[in-house]
Structure formats: structure tokens, C-alpha cells
Chain A
């Protein structure tokens, strides 16, 4: 049987941070693939480099060495302007603290990534309404982030992440700022996006309950990648 195609190919990825003259290595020669439609959880203790790895895959940070190909495109070779365009089309972001724009309504926050596309206003409206329907928040579309609960804000953020129909969804501790009930709702939603829409999802989490939804869990420790664990090892 033929292996499913890899949507993300990571090869020999290394990254260090610099504090004055001090070099702090974060990732060491990381290599692995993420196949299309996979739901991957990156786990590990604080400072293990999992968020850095996620940022590199999402194209919002630069590696010191190595390559990352997403959909066949080597994003480490793209100049910043093209990388920004690439992110707009191929990456949907879900952040721990939602990162919604407080002066915009839920509808406008979801619409935000679409203003970089050639869609008409009417088309944008249709896309936004559809995304808000997916996260079951059409009744709150005129609310500002400050008028929504944490769980509702994260659902708006998820709608914003999926509205452009990106190649990959990256989620950095998506339940980290939520109570248990809201966290379960958000994880169910993310799981549904993976199962029903076939979205490739890469998620960083500390929460074993959240990680349980993933197909594959990869552990990072001090910048080194351990072997992938199957779901039932949790």
C-alpha cells in the first residue's frame, strides 16, 4: 500500500536563540514528515522547543539551518514578502490567547484575512458567515471580543483560521486559557475540522486530554524530537 503524501517535510531543522553573546540552542536537527489530513500534537515540557517548531512550520520564525517544505514549497527559502503572502493562503493560526483585534466585531475579525484575497465584499460575507456557522457562532457575529467568553473568542479565532481554507492549521496551546468545559468544546471543534474537513492540524499542547484527539503525538525534550507515539500510549 502506498504511503499517503507528506504535506509538511522537515529536514535537519536547527534553531538557537541569542542572549547577548550567549547561544541558547532550542532545536537540534529535527527531521520528520506530517502527512496530509494528519492531526499532530507536539508535546513536551516548557522550553523544549515545541512552540518554536510550530512557529517555524507556520513561517513566522526563521530556522538557523535545515528546510521546511509545505505542500512542496520550501518556505525557508522564501523572502519575507512572499512568506507573508504564503502564510495568508496556506496557514490558519489558532493562538492560546486568541489574538483577536479588540476594535473589530467577531464578523470583522473573521473577515480580516479575507481582505488580502481578491474576493468581493459579497463573497467575503458568504465565507465569513459559513466559517461562523462551522464554529456555531452566527448569533454573536456583531459582538466585540470583549463581549464574548474565552471559549467564544477561541471559536471566533478558529473561524478566522479556517475562513481562507488554508493548507494547514497551527494551534499553539488552543485550550491553555480556557476552563475545562470550554477546552473540551474547542477540542471537539478542532477534531471535527480534522475529521469532517480533512484539515491538517499541528497543535502544541501541555494538556494530555487535548492531545488525545490527535492522531500522532510527538514529544520534544530539550530541542530533540523523540519518536512519534501512537495515540494509545498516552
Chain B
């Protein structure tokens, strides 16, 4: 068997340029596939990172319409509710519009209670809670702009006009690999006080309530109870799980995601054609050799083993190279995209898909040349001149 394995590997390297280019093509295809899958995963990162026990309550008409702050106490009284926090999408710009990152005004104590995955040093958390003009930033965001504790950062308000100054009191890190480390969170009270001074009509209004439930199993029931409590009010609510809420944003990009998914599979089909072509040429060139094997008494499984083995050797070599290249490429891509994709990690499932598709490509590419080799009569095959 060692001799057959030797033939298999040596055959794979017989046309070094052709094999090298095929492996390179597979590697590039797997790299492209891996990156596209990672982009799709990044799109869903918010959904994946969301908790089943967190609910989001917003105005039932649209997220852009606020809810009264007074709803807070009524929500807290709903059975099954453990924590109520609230906040507003601030939409501030840091220096230039291209420096996009998510920035929220939140009730800090309850918000951090609801997000234990945002890990802060105790002293930083205390400093943040004490200072109403402070903010915390995710590790990735702080690193991107070189912010250090104590730095004063100015955001230019878009929804809430003016220049807003904040002092960085803490840098959180994510407890999990999928935790968003690019958020900018500051005190809702700071925003509200300014509103009271500059636009009293917009004071005591929140964009959303973030609600913690005592048990994820009762989340749906709690959501219904909250919405029932505000039925027929001036601002009716729509409560959904954090996952459904995030999914609502993702579904806005459904068409783009579908196209990316489609392209990622087209890449696989293209590479199947490339490998199939290589294997077809290989099979045709070795017709006489395979016939010699058959004449010497080697059977179907030996011939099939040689062709399938060679095909799988080439595809798996390309797959391995592609998978290895995916990591630095993803890191470079994530860097280039900044905080557009807060979480951009190559998922284990993506690597499994790389392997599965490579195996499928390797197997399918060998089917036709194997069939041809087995169908060709020995005498006819021996007459074939390479």
C-alpha cells in the first residue's frame, strides 16, 4: 500500500506547475469563501451575541419615535421583569463622518447589569458610574483611536445637536469572542439634562427600553404583558427579544447577505470546474498507465483509489493553504473595515465548511476521470500514447 501511496503523491506532483496553479486556485477560492462566510457571520454577530433573557421595548410605530421615561416604573412592575434599563441612539460623529461607531446614551448602572459580557475593572466601573460626563469604550474602539483613560473626547451630535464632551473612564473588554468591543456608552442623564436646557420637549424621552427577564423561557410572555400594559396609550410599545430586534436590522440587509452567500457558493462551483479540469487532463494523460495497472491485475478500487486520492490530495492541500491564509486576510480585512464590523472572527464552522466543500470538490472532480479510466478497455488504453 505504501507503494500505491507513493505513486499517488508523486502523481500529484508530476506536473508541478499545473498542480501548483490548481492548489493556488483552490487556496484563493477557499480564502474567498472563508472571508465571505466571515462577512456573513459578522453581519449576524449582533444576533449571535444577543441574550435570550433580554428584551427590547420600542415605540410600536418605529424605532425613531421615542417612549416616555415614565414607562420605566410600569415596565418594572410587569411579572417576570428583573431589570429595566433604557437609552437612546445618540448618533454622534467623532471628528469625521467616516469614523463610524455605535454610540448610546444609557442608564449606566442597569445597562451594565444587563450586559455582564462587557467586562470592566471595578475601579473603572466605579469611576464611570460616578462621573455623569464620562463614557466607556470597547477595547477595539479605544485601540483604534488611541484613547486612554482620562482622555476628553468630543462627539458632534446629529440627532442631538451640539458638541458633546465626554471623559473616558473605562475600557471594557468582551467576555466572549463574539462580544462587540466597539461600543461607546455614556450617561443618559447627561443627555437628558442637556435636553432639558436646550430642547425641553425632547427631555424625559427614551429611544428604547432594555429589559432583563427572570427566566429566558418566559421572555415571550413578558414581552406580551409589557405591550398589553401600554395598549391604547399615546405611545404604544413593541417588545421583542434582543435577538429578534437585532434580526430586524440584519433583515434590512437580507438582499446583500443573500448575494454574498450566493457568491460564496459560486466560488465553490468555479473551483470544482478548475479541479475537475485538472483531473480530467491528468486522467487522459495516464490512460496507458492505468491500463498497465489493470493489465498487471490491479482492480477497480486501486485505480479509483489512485485517481480519487490524487484529487483529494490536491484539493486538501489547497484547502489547507486557503484556511491558513484566511486568518491574516480576515485580520487585515477587519482592520480595513474599522468598526463597521464590530466582531469579525473566522468561525470554526467556516473552517469546517472549507473542509467539507473541499472534500466534495475533490470527490466530484475525480468521478468522471475514474469512470473513464474504468470504462476504457485495457487493450485500448495500452494503445494510448501520452
Q: What is the CA–CA distance of A60 and B292 in the complex, to the nearest angstrom?
A: 10
Given A103-B14, A104-B7, are A84 and B377 also a contact pair (CB < 8 Å)?
no
Partner of A108, one of B3, B292, B378: B3
Q: List residues of B (265-293) whose CB comes within 8 Å of A's CBs.
A: 288-289, 292
What total of chain B residues lie within 8 Å of the partner, measured CB to CB? Answer: 23
Interface stretch of the complex, out of B28-36, B213-221, B294-302: B294-302
Partner of A61, one of B10, B296, B377, B385: B377
Q: Note all chain A residues with C-beta closer than 8 A to B297.
A: 84-89, 113, 116
B59 to chain A, nearest CB (A): 73
Partner of B379, one of A61, A101, A103, A160: A61
Tell yes or no: A55 within 8 A of B by CB.
yes
A10 to chain B, nearest CB (A): 17
What is the 8 Å Cβ interface bit string for chain A, positions 45-72, against chain B (1 contact, 0 not)? 0000001100100101100000000000
A132 to chain B, nearest CB (A): 16
A220 to chain B, nearest CB (A): 16
B57 to chain A, nearest CB (A): 70
A60:B379 contact, CB within 8 angstroms: yes
B3:A104 contact, CB within 8 angstroms: yes
Cβ-closest chain A residue relative to B8: A103
- Overall SS of chain B's interface: helix
Q: Note all chain A residues with C-beta closer than 8 A to B288.
A: 99
Q: List residues of B (1-50) whose CB comes within 8 Å of A's CBs.
A: 1, 3-4, 6-7, 10-11, 14
B382:A95 contact, CB within 8 angstroms: yes
Given A84-B294, A101-B289, A103-B10, are A112 and B3 also a contact pair (CB < 8 Å)?
yes
A155 to chain B, nearest CB (A): 17
What is the 8 Å Cβ interface bit string for chain A, positions 102-130, against chain B (1 contact, 0 not)? 11100010011101100000000000000
Cβ-closest chain A residue relative to B13: A103
Number of A-B contacts (CB under 8 A): 68
Tell yes or no: A39 within 8 A of B by CB.
no
Q: Note all chain A residues with C-beta closer than 8 A to B382.
A: 60, 95, 99
Q: List residues of B (294-331) whose CB comes within 8 Å of A's CBs.
A: 294-300
Q: What is the CA–CA distance of A87 and B4 in the complex, to the nearest angstrom?
A: 19
Q: Note all chain B residues with C-beta closer than 8 A to A103.
A: 6-7, 10-11, 14
Q: What is the CA–CA distance of A39 and B14 in the complex, to the nearest angstrom?
A: 39
Partner of B295, one of A51, A93, A101: A93
A88:B11 contact, CB within 8 angstroms: no
A138 to chain B, nearest CB (A): 19
Cβ-closest chain B residue relative to A81: B299
Q: What is the CA–CA distance of A56 and B118 in the complex, to the nearest angstrom?
A: 79
**Chain A residues proximal to chain B, CB less than 8 Å:** 51-52, 55, 58, 60-61, 81, 84-89, 91, 93, 95, 97, 99, 101-104, 108, 111-113, 115-116, 160
Report 19 cross-chain contacts, Cβ distance below 8 Å, ordered by A residue.
A51-B379, A55-B378, A55-B379, A60-B382, A61-B377, A61-B379, A84-B297, A84-B298, A84-B299, A88-B296, A95-B382, A99-B288, A99-B289, A101-B7, A102-B14, A103-B6, A111-B3, A115-B3, A116-B296
**Chain B residues proximal to chain A, CB less than 8 Å:** 1, 3-4, 6-7, 10-11, 14, 288-289, 292, 294-300, 377-379, 382, 385
List 10 tightest A-B contacts by C-beta distance, closest first.
Answer: A88-B297, A103-B10, A60-B378, A99-B292, A55-B379, A61-B379, A87-B297, A113-B296, A84-B297, A84-B299
Since A61-B377, A93-B296, A104-B3 are in contact, a sample of 11 more A-B pairs with Cβ atoms closer than 8 Å, ordered by chain A residue number, is A52-B379, A60-B382, A84-B298, A86-B297, A93-B292, A101-B289, A103-B11, A104-B7, A104-B10, A113-B297, A115-B4
